[in-house]
Chain A
Amino acid sequence: MIEGIGIENILIVNTLLFFIGIYGFLTRKNLVTILMSVELILTAVNINFVAFNKYYYPENLQGHFFALFVIAVAATEAAVAIAIIISLYRRIKVIDVERADEMKY
């Protein structure tokens, strides 16, 4: 527990970070920037897990490990996403999420 900071403060920060990440995901055009927004979301979640772990269940380490695994998975996912982006770039020469609409009607 951090002295003087209640859980609500941390939660507010995390929520704001989370929704900023969502806003970025919905708004940005470049695929790499969308990926960055996803990283923001995952970071917010990480901090959340760790905060709850620290504040209410300090003798278990479940939140801590969960955050660890989230980091691992986020790294994996970023790598695969970059691979897809590069593959798409080879096809259509731009990384514009609105140009990648072959799944439309």
Chain B
Amino acid sequence: MSDFGYTIIIPAILFISFLLIGFGGGKLKPVISGIAGIISVSVAAILSWITAYNYFFISGKVSGAYQSVIPFNTLWLKFTDRLYIDMGILLDPISVMMLVVISTVSLMVHIYSIGYMKGEKGFSRYFAFLSLFTFSMTGLVISTNIFQTYIFWELVGISSYLLIGFYYDKPSAVAAAKKAFIVTRFADLGFLVGILVLSSISGTFDFAVLNNPNGSSLASGTTSTFLGMSALTWSLILIYMGCAGKSAMFPLHIWLPDAMEGPTPVSALIHAATMVVAGVYLVARLFPVYAFFAPDALEVVAVVGVFTSLFAALIATTQTDIKRVLAFSTISQIGLMMAGIGVAGYGGEAGLGYMASMFHLFTHAMFKALLFLCAGSVIHSVHTNEIFEMGGLRKYLPYTHITFLIACLAIAGIPPLSGFFSKDEIMTAGLQKSSIIFIAELVIAGLTAFYMFRLYFIVFWNRETRYNKTPHESPIIMIIPLIILAAGSAFAGFIPFGSLVTSNGKPIVSHIHLEVALPALAFALTGIGISYVLYKKERVVPKKISSSMISFRIIVSNKFYIDQIYIFVTKKIIFNLVSTPVAWFDRHIVDGTMNAIAYLTNSVSEKIKGFQSGQLQQYAYVMISGAVLILFLIFYLLK
């Protein structure tokens, strides 16, 4: 069994690079910060690949099942004998897979950003924050206990806030960063309460103890009930609230479309491939607890996932900003991942959904990051985000065109690209559980294909726009990551995921299920076909269709007015009923007490000040009176 001690270097070097770039970057030339960032992420990536190779192919498997390996686990903070927080590294199929995903996509984004962010002021700051984010995300996936996860969860939230608000002089970017942070922080409230309930039931934070299939520590949780569900189910649903916030599930999805105000490589890294899948990752991490003790919570996960997926896919069909389409597509695909894990059970064929969800996470990271980086390339060339100001770009941006097409085919689920295999597994798992879910997933697949190819055709085909400045292809440093990610999207489907990542570590055989694949393919091809007909050449038909369903279209394109509902609730209800009295209390009573104490101290000292008046006769008077008083005391009290 080889020693995995070197895995500590992965987060350590990223943190060191954050500190170095953050503190030294202002003084050095910007390109040095970029190179420092790339070096540290490359080291992390190479170590992750080595770890993955070691773990999956050499030493991870013990008696036919992948075991979790813990190279480090040290006591960090101790409250009492029973309550303490460790910090450590846990290596386990999903954490090793996530390490590979995070470091690889981060490396691609770093390389791409050298070209994309060239000439921006704040170049060093950008790379510092990217290192911070990669460090936090890496720390999150290798956590050994739920509290460490929570710490890194918050760190990831901070990095996301810093990166979304990167263009801090744009008010819309600042507002978007605030919104993202506040929404995820609100969700983390539920997360924290869930952690506290879970740990008070089980007496531990540690995953190894919680996830133990015997589950001896959790038995007490199923007995105490509250409003009809056991305490354990409540805690897991609350933890899921945190996951839903981070992964932008309905109704906490509102921050993700606005988060597109950040630079495009940031959207590729954070809001497509890594941070938003942290929620799915956490459900997978706690999966044995969910599966054995709270199957109701898993149903909630699945229902929310499917609903969100359908909801977001509908909205994506009407958006006109290239990044917003991709944002809603991300929400939709993550909904599919949640659905996949929500219908799964523990072990064997029932665990197919778990494996499918993780597989889709892996492939989605690649093609969604690729889509965002291509979108960045397009935006870099034509300096606009609106798709109806673009068109006919296939002549000007050949590499971007080909890689974008590969990514679209992958996300639509066309064989033999990777998306086909992962979606097939998810839909099979869905079918095993319920046919309603399966039908919903088929509709989602069709809509996905439709809106992605709508995007593709409008941007690259459609009308031949006359541009003010001829769009130029991106520099080679931005093309290389596109090509690498395209290769990944194309060939990742052939990885035998079922033998590597499953719910209980034992491999399952995964094959194509024709009864699922064929209808899915049919829906996808229909979607592609409709968008080809409508959008390849410039036509009036789309406008006619949309004007005939005008009211429905307006509702959908305004994202079902969810943002407005939130604003109404916050401004009219929470501000007036809760915030205003609390602010009054704080200003008048809390501050008033402090002010009163200060005023009291002041006035007392003003009075006492008079003792040092500098007046000779006052001093003499005090002396005489004191002497007389002592005389008096001596005579009358101490006879």
Contact = CB atoms under 8 A, between A and B. Distances in A.
User: In the complex they form, do A and B come into direct contact, defined as C-beta atoms under 8 angstroms apart?
Assistant: yes
B612 A22 contact: no
B490 to A, nearest CB: 85
A59 interface: no
A33 to B, nearest CB: 12
A105 interface: yes
A26 B624 contact: yes
A101 B613 contact: yes
A105 B609 contact: yes
Chain A's interface: helix, strand, loop or mixed, by majority? loop
A102 B617 CA distance: 14
B616 interface: yes
B612 A97 contact: no
Interface string B603-636: 0000001001111110011001000000000000
Contact of B620 (A25, A101, A103): A25
A97 B624 contact: no
Nearest to B610: A105
Interface in A62-93: none
A98 interface: yes
Given A22-B624, A26-B624, A105-B609, A97 B614 contact: no
Contacts of A25: 617, 620
B616 A97 contact: yes
Interface residues of A, number: 13
A22 B617 CA distance: 10
B624 A103 contact: no
B612 A105 contact: yes
B621 A102 contact: no
Contacts of A27: 617
Nearest to A28: B617
Nearest to A31: B616
B617 A97 contact: yes
B609 A97 contact: no
A85 B620 CA distance: 18
Contacts of B613: 101, 104-105
A1 interface: no
A100 interface: yes
B617 A26 contact: yes
Nearest to B609: A105
Contacts of A100: 614, 616
A26 B616 CA distance: 9
B612 A104 contact: yes
A100 B613 CA distance: 10
B445 to A, nearest CB: 84
B342 to A, nearest CB: 75
A104 B609 CA distance: 9
A36 to B, nearest CB: 14
Contacts of B615: 97-98, 101, 104
Interface in A22-45: 22, 25-27, 34
A103 B613 CA distance: 7
A26 B620 contact: yes
B605 to A, nearest CB: 10
A96 to B, nearest CB: 11
A27 B621 CA distance: 9
Contacts of A34: 616-617
Nearest to A27: B617
Contacts of B609: 105
A42 to B, nearest CB: 15
A67 B78 CA distance: 80
A104 B612 CA distance: 5
A36 B615 CA distance: 18
B614 A26 contact: no
A3 B98 CA distance: 120
A24 to B, nearest CB: 11
A34 B612 CA distance: 21
B78 to A, nearest CB: 51
Nearest to B612: A105
A81 to B, nearest CB: 12
Interface string B119-161: 0000000000000000000000000000000000000000000
Nearest to A102: B614
Contacts of B616: 34, 97, 100
Interface centre among B609, B613, B616, B620 (most CB of A within 10 A): B616
B611 to A, nearest CB: 9
Contacts of A98: 615, 617
Interface in B447-501: none
A102 to B, nearest CB: 6
Contacts of A105: 609, 612-614
B277 to A, nearest CB: 68
Nearest to B605: A105
Interface string B412-444: 000000000000000000000000000000000
Nearest to B625: A26
Contacts of B617: 25-27, 34, 97-98
B603 to A, nearest CB: 15
Interface string A11-26: 0000000000010011
A26 B612 contact: no
B624 A104 contact: no
A103 B614 contact: yes
Given A27-B617, A100-B616, 8 more contacts: A25-B620, A26-B617, A26-B621, A34-B616, A98-B615, A101-B613, A102-B614, A105-B612
20 contacts: A22-B624, A25-B620, A26-B617, A26-B620, A26-B621, A26-B624, A27-B617, A34-B616, A34-B617, A97-B616, A100-B614, A100-B616, A101-B614, A102-B614, A103-B612, A104-B613, A105-B609, A105-B612, A105-B613, A105-B614
Query: Which A-B residue pairs are the 5 nearest by beta carbons?
Result: A104-B614, A101-B614, A103-B614, A105-B612, A105-B609
